[in-house]
Structure 1
Amino acid sequence: MGAELIIGIILLVLIVTIVVKSVVIVPQEWAYIIERLGRYHSIREGGPAILVPFVDRTRERVDLREQVVSFPPQPVITQDNLTVNIDTVVYFKVNDAKAAVYEIANYIAGVEQITTTTLRNVVGGMTLEQTLTSRDRINTALRGELDEATERWGIRVARVEIKAIDPPPSIQNSMEQQMKADREKRAMILTAEGQRESAIRSAEGNKQSQILTAEGAKQAAILAAEAERQSEILRAQGRRAALYLEAQGEAKAIEKKFAAIKAGKPTPELLAYEYLQTLPQMAEGEASKLWVVPSDFGKALEGFTRMLGAPGEDGVFRYEPSPDDGTVSKPAEDDGVEDWFDTSSDPEIAKQVAAATAAAQQEVPPVGSDVPPVPGTEVGTGGAASPAQLEASREVPGIGLPDGAQGHPNGQEQRG
């Protein structure tokens, strides 16, 4: 009974072992190389696989996914005899598991060696500057060479990338100094450009300021000249009106005095007395430096009375006034003098003052922009009156006007 139990247990363990040996589960994207009695038999991919126990065995498990292998830095000599260390990364995929196992002993080591050899061949024909700036060219050359060399191994190289290119420390110091010099050069250039731009802007601002100052001075001078001319014209008009009124007053006084003398019928004695009263006043004049009185003063008075009067019955000369016909002489009335006494302001002057005020209150435009014209002025005169306006305003009122035109008291021309 005991021997049978032991035999049964042994058979059960043998059956379990056979089952375990005969069934293999292959993961997805993996390939198992199956050998039978030491020779290649088949390739089993994802899923269960049935093997003959103690006859079939799994030679190699090959990963069919794309693999990434980073190789250590490789020293490479460039065309200008400088040694640089280059790190590379290779992306490849096994397309034929049988070739990857039986055509080469270690395909990863083979890829590394081919990468190093090809890298030295490519970089050896370049200078250091070309190597640092031609990564795409190096990557393309490496991928082409590796893909061609690994095709018989059942491997496809998808991409080759260069991670880093490290030149010697001395070259790195030189490059850093060069880069520092380049940065300082660019900084100096930018600083000079900024100073140049600032100087140009300042010059433009000074130019614009001087132009505006000159325009303002020009406008102020023109307005001052116009104001002086208008004031002179107005003062001349005022003096003309005052002289006219004085002349009228003197004419009225002479008329009244002459009428009073005629109405009083003065005697020669009275006229002689008035003559004597006037002599001191004549001597008081500033222009009178010497006054000569005739020695025969009586005969002079006698001659004066003979001119003014006629001898009477008693032999005395008496003043004979001219016959009074009842008419009173009056000075002739002047036509067209009513406007001399008009005190209203000239509309043209008010218009010019308003234009000057608007120009003074106008906002200063930015540098480089066109100056907008002020209403009532011509473009390009800096806000001053136009030449036609200045020429028209220089006409003196009442003088040199055309036929049918009458001078306005404030200088404005009126036509009938």
Structure 2
Amino acid sequence: MTKGALAGVRVLDLSRILAGPWAAQMLADLGAEVIKVERPGKGDDSRQFGPPFLMDREGKVTRESTFFISANRGKKSITCDISTPDGQALIRSLAAHCDVLLENYKVGDLKRYGLDYESLKLVNSRLIYCSITGFGQTGPYSPRPGYDSIFQAMGGLMSVTGNGDDVPGGGPMKTGPSLADILCGQYAASAIIAALYHRDATQGGSGEGQYIDLALLDAMIAATSHYASQYLVSGQIPIRRGTEGNGGMPSRMFRCADRDIMIVAGNNEQYARMCNVLGHPELASDPRFSEIALRVKNRRALGEVFEPLIVEWQSDELLAALDAAGVPAGPINNLEQVFADPHVQARAMCVEVAHPLTDEAVRMVANPVKMSGTPIDSYGAPPMLGQHTDDVLRDLLSMSQSDIDILREKKVL
């Protein structure tokens, strides 16, 4: 097992649900020690986000939800009631021994407990403190709570996702996965790593920590990428195009005789090769479709021409022919088909980890990052609630078992 790129970095994870835990899991995958702080008796809210839940070795339902499992592997879990003075003192002591603190409490909540950045940097000036909230620490919406679908709506993603209003079933659509949370978590992880580099760089590192303010709404707006650029540069509001792409054409879902597939002819050469595969090379020089800009302009007519040609094919035969011709195309897989795909298996995108509640390994999505010098080659199971409380307090804070027992009797742990 190789030491991870972030070996030696310790993270105190006070976050819940998805954006913060996702960022902390990324850091754990990269080798950081992540200590997850949870509420005694209940834990992270996402532990209850089910069914489905993990089944134990006796076939009984556990409290380990698949949602929680997706974002908390490789962490240590401790319980601490931060609303109590003893709990607050405990967090301050832990923060003094950590490089990073992640939290996603409502704006101002942790300041009431003396656990805000200004308070904690007094006990650890090297601390990187990352706050993730729905709307950020400033602005008129900053006090508001929110969830992923709210930010997909307000940040513009839903306005460009789904079929157009002129198509049956058209209208704004939320993406399946919680992309605002996931993307914000990725922004958080990269910002934290940059702050660590700023603090510790061999040449000119400041030695000082800093505060990171991340908003899910901001992250969602940034992730609209070229759609936002289209509006900001041209003043044109992007429309919903269903499965159609925003570049070369055709770029959309087509129905074959047996199932749907995606085809993207991203340039004129690929488009000409696609026409050849379909047995209609004359369509490459059709005056309506001979250039990318013309195909974009005449996208509706393009679909009407190619739909009846493609529906005659069996999907596997057409995909093989397009692949041989160098035209990007692929099946629309469900998740069972995704993980059965030989290429996905060759890329080791499913990993198995041992879990204390079951004899069978728990399957998880692997981290997609492939690093040559510090590969991500080891994964720990998502922790059970409070699984590591005694170990962390004893090893990191040198607390005696009797002191730990007293805190537990006082319901601090």
- TM class by shorter chain equals under 0.3
Structure 1 or 2: more helix by fraction: 1
- 1 or 2 for the larger relative contact order (CA 8 Å, sep ≥6)? 2
TM-score (norm 1): 0.16
Q: Which has the larger radius of gyration?
A: 1
TM-score (norm 2): 0.16
